[in-house]
Structure 1
Amino acid sequence: MSASSGIPRPRPLRRAFVAVAAALGLAAALATAATAPADASAPTPPSGWTQVFVDDFNGAAGSGVNTANWQYDTGTSYPGGAANWGTGEVETMTSSTSNVSLDGNGNLLITPRRDSAGHWTSGRIETTRTDFQPPAGGKLRVQARIQLPNVTGAAAKGYWPAFWMLGAPFRGNYWNWPSIGELDIMENVQGLNTDWATMHCGTNPGGPCNETSGIGNNTSCTGTTCQAGFHTYAMEWDRSTSPEEIRFYLDGVNFHTVRANQVDATTWANATSHGYFIILNVAMGGGFPDAFGGGPDGGTEPGHPMTVDYVQVLQSSGGGTTPPPTGNRDAYSAIQAESYDSQSGVVAETTTDTGGGQDIGSLANGDWALYKGVNFGSTAAKQFYARVASGAAGGVSGLVEVRLDSRGNAPVGSFAVANTGGWQSWRTVPANIGAVTGTHDVYLTFTSGQPADFVNVNWFDFGH
């Protein structure tokens, strides 16, 4: 199940190369959840959301999962279903606590193991419930905080951990994929620092959803790699928008969206007119690892678990209520520019600025980035600060503007920027803004009297 990335609109040659490189692995911002303790309870639902399922995996070390919440998939296929789970993977799934167990510290461990004869075993569990879907006019959010198997390179060949969902009609049938829908919230192979998210639907092979690849995209973990630390992987299925959307997130950053109008109405209805169940598993080998070098082989190291801190499902009601802000961001802490919720003309790239990470670049006249749910509090913000760099040619400059809630609104503040000495020559530029309180969606817009790129942005924040 591979994923493909869209290519941003054309740019001048030097910057176009950066845009293509960034499109191959879209940026993610480092969220607080990624650096929380190894056992962090599932977060309290924000206002407007209701928790409909949670498992914090609390229990004695070495015990199995709560079978009121989960059922084990065992063997090499569903009963009467496709061999090797339909993917060509080579392990046998078991309910043994050597493969699926709690660690006693609030985590689930799914651990692939190899016996003396070279046979692999691992674990695959799925929720007993199959009714996870948004209400009419509402939203569903499914998320988990996970550390992927901490193994890389040749020792990781064949590892295929995943956090995903299947349409309820699949249970008991096992031959109606992909028409009933599959939502891959997180897939990873070969110990790569990459998170793939994909929607599968329609017919196989080919069809409106490009099977067996599906409609997918990928991004990278930042701060720590996907293997070296915990990250939060999430999906929001949104029936409050038109067209309906299914959005995928890494550490709070939306990096992939599938919209109902990308396929025909029948295909979408077949994939979404029912509930879903959740699956956690670590496969060994199969089609996805094969696309990245294959395995497992003699150099693959067994015994590296996928560690799951919690799985949580939230729901927001319909009835025309406004969904809560996506971001819940603090205006007075640095907002990483690459953590946008939506954008036009923007690409992300690695930065050499202090602290590392990524910046957004290829910014020219008409480009913009949206940051939802920025909380300014009750004391008015009157200052805007942005960390910017520019390698623009002589005479090339433009404005970095702040607009609230709509790109059509007048800017509340702006500053001009020209060449700072290079595209990675960073400086913090202040600007006055009109007094702002409360919570707003913030747009950074970029305006220039000429079409060339004129600025990069690493982060921004506000002050009183």
Structure 2
Amino acid sequence: MSGTSGIPTRRRPLRRAFVAVLSTLGLAAVAATAATPPANASAPTPPAGWSQVFLDDFTGAAGTGVNTSNWQYATGTSYPGGPANWGTGEVETMTNSTNNVSLDGNGNLRITPLRDAAGRWTSGRIETNRTDFQPPSGGKLRVEARVQMPNVTGTAAEGYWPAFWMLGAPYRGNYQNWPSVGELDIMENVQGRNTVWATMHCGTNPGGPCNETTGIGNSTACPNTTCQSGFHTYTMEWDRSVSPEAIRFLVDGVNFHTVNASQVDATTWANATNHGFFIILNVAMGGAFPDAFGGGLDGDTRSGVPMVVDYVQVLSATGSGTTPPPTGNRDAYAAIQAESYDGQSGTTAETTSDTGGGQNIGSIANGDWALFRGVNFGSTAATQFVARVASGAAGGVSGLVEVRLDSRTNAPVGSFSLANTGGWQSWRTVPANMASVTGTHDVYLTFTSGQASDFVNVNWFNFGR
């Protein structure tokens, strides 16, 4: 919430920055001109136990744009209302022009940065329309692309920053919740180095449990041929079938970096992973990451060298279909303090003037949520949901406070509607009937509204029979 509500406006964080530590790697000399890509080597058949949930092999006539059923263009120098220069200091303007983003007629996508006579750069950035890529419960997700990085090295490559990466779905339309919603960089490269970087961004910025803005990352050289002189397959495998949950990064099938849930606290991991993701392909020019390795984007940088993408595919593998039941460490029938969440998106904690003091969660608008793990309902069914709420929403602004069990995508088991209660600290206890619930569950409070404005604060909630 902004204005005079007493809750600070949500921050506009930077997007990804750079990995600060570089492994000592030899740079092979390669030709500075773009190699002619081979005919389309279509995506491999999914291995046994895996199913294909997304594929684009970029088949189409030369000089045409991407399939807009699969992709949307991100244009300009920022998202609407987001941080300038995409949050990284990069200098190009992204366009939907086929000069920058086009198929080559041989089953490949080319994203080509270009400099005009005045020294201004344009390039391309495309994102999947889908934002729901995540592993099934107890299963795995594999996201991969076969890519040739821009085939340029040395001084001519200064400022080049190609990337294949993913952002947490809550970022789309918000642009103020990075890095808490998670970012998975499957392939990044700068300055034409024979190096692939893979990074997970999460937590808070700067610093925090994920060492932002650096993130949790690692790098390696491309095997056999350099990253620039040949195609390589870059893969992220997200595994919910193991404990702790793990996210692995591979190049040509070689696992060179793994991040697992035990490396950060449970809230940070939940905030970064308990939702879908969308996929991004882009070539930036200049910015924090190239600057960390010498920068030098100027007239000597070669214009017109594309990143070439053969295919992007997403595979899914089911596990047992369920994860182990949560341990019941919360009593469904005692007050559960809202600020004691195990994960959240979009909310903030603030001091409350309600009876008993403490904190409430606020800045809550459409699409926000909070997770409370291991709520024990016992063997006699709960049939009522009760929450302590307040609202200073403007006239005509209202929304639903919903309860969902075990997944944010499951249907609500109970909900109530709320509009202005007289102020953001004007509290009332609202009961609602709900479907019968027994056993132990992860409880999600989700918030739905037809307006974009914040509409509710929550102090505590519980359940009744």
TM-score bracket, shorter-length normalisation: 0.5 to 0.7
Q: What CA distance in whole angstroms lies between the structure 2 residues aligned with 1:45 and 1:4?
A: 35
The answer (yes or no) to whether the contact 2:77–2:92 under 8 Å persists in 1 is: yes
> What code does the residue aligned with 1:84 have?
N
After superposition, residues 166-181 of structure 1 pair within 5 angstroms as 166-181=167-182
The answer (yes or no) to whether the contact 2:19–2:289 under 8 Å persists in 1 is: no
Corresponding residue number in structure 1 for 2:100: 99
The answer (yes or no) to whether the contact 1:4–1:217 under 8 Å persists in 2 is: no
> What code does the residue aligned with 1:253 have?
V
Q: CA deviation at 1:293?
A: 0.7
Q: What CA distance in whole angstroms lies between the structure 2 residues aligned with 1:51 and 1:251?
A: 19
Matched, 1:282 2:283: yes
Q: Deviations over 1:357-416 (max 9, x none)?
A: xxxxxxxxxxxxxxxxxxxxxxxxxxxxxxxxxxxxxxxxxxxxxxxxxxxxxxxxxxxx
Corresponding residue number in structure 1 for 2:75: 74
The answer (yes or no) to whether the contact 1:57–1:309 under 8 Å persists in 2 is: yes
Q: CA deviation at 1:319?
A: 1.1
Say what the alpha-carbon RMSD is for the aligned residues: 1.6
Q: What CA distance in whole angstroms lies between the structure 2 residues aligned with 1:141 and 1:82?
A: 30
- The secondary structure found in structure 2 opposite 1:199 is strand
> What code does the residue aligned with 1:298 have?
G
Q: CA deviation at 1:25?
A: 5.2
| Equivalent pairs, count | 296
Corresponding residue number in structure 1 for 2:391: none
Q: What CA distance in whole angstroms lies between the structure 2 residues aligned with 1:187 and 1:38?
A: 24
Q: What CA distance in whole angstroms lies between the structure 1 residues aligned with 2:195 and 2:51?
A: 31
Q: What CA distance in whole angstroms lies between the structure 2 residues aligned with 1:295 and 1:123?
A: 21
Corresponding residue number in structure 2 for 1:134: 135
Corresponding residue number in structure 2 for 1:182: 183
Q: CA deviation at 1:223?
A: 1.4
Corresponding residue number in structure 1 for 2:342: none
The answer (yes or no) to whether the contact 1:143–1:311 under 8 Å persists in 2 is: yes
Corresponding residue number in structure 2 for 1:326: none
CA gap 1:219/1:44 in 2 versus in 1, 3 angstroms:
same
Corresponding residue number in structure 2 for 1:209: 210
Aligned partner of 1:3 among 4, 19, 34: 19
Q: What CA distance in whole angstroms lies between the structure 2 residues aligned with 1:2 and 1:109?
A: 24
Q: What CA distance in whole angstroms lies between the structure 2 residues aligned with 1:242 and 1:3?
A: 27
> What code does the residue aligned with 2:242 have?
T
Q: Deviations over 1:413-463 (max 9, x none)?
A: xxxxxxxxxxxxxxxxxxxxxxxxxxxxxxxxxxxxxxxxxxxxxxxxxxx
Please report the TM-score for the alignment, with normalisation by the length of structure 1. Answer: 0.62
The answer (yes or no) to whether the contact 1:231–1:250 under 8 Å persists in 2 is: yes
Q: Deviations over 1:217-272 (max 9, x none)?
A: 00001211000000000000000000000000000000000000000000000000
- The secondary structure found in structure 2 opposite 1:196 is strand
Corresponding residue number in structure 1 for 2:257: 256
> What code does the residue aligned with 1:101 have?
S
Corresponding residue number in structure 1 for 2:224: 223
Q: What CA distance in whole angstroms lies between the structure 1 residues aligned with 2:210 and 2:24?
A: 20
Q: What CA distance in whole angstroms lies between the structure 2 residues aligned with 1:4 and 1:153?
A: 20
Corresponding residue number in structure 1 for 2:114: 113
Corresponding residue number in structure 2 for 1:455: none
After superposition, residues 20-35 of structure 1 pair within 5 angstroms as 24=24
Q: What CA distance in whole angstroms lies between the structure 2 residues aligned with 1:248 and 1:37?
A: 25
Q: What CA distance in whole angstroms lies between the structure 1 residues aligned with 2:178 and 2:20?
A: 21
Q: What CA distance in whole angstroms lies between the structure 1 residues aligned with 2:256 and 2:248?
A: 8
Q: CA deviation at 1:318?
A: 1.9
Q: What CA distance in whole angstroms lies between the structure 2 residues aligned with 1:123 and 1:255?
A: 28
Q: What CA distance in whole angstroms lies between the structure 1 residues aligned with 2:165 and 2:118?
A: 31
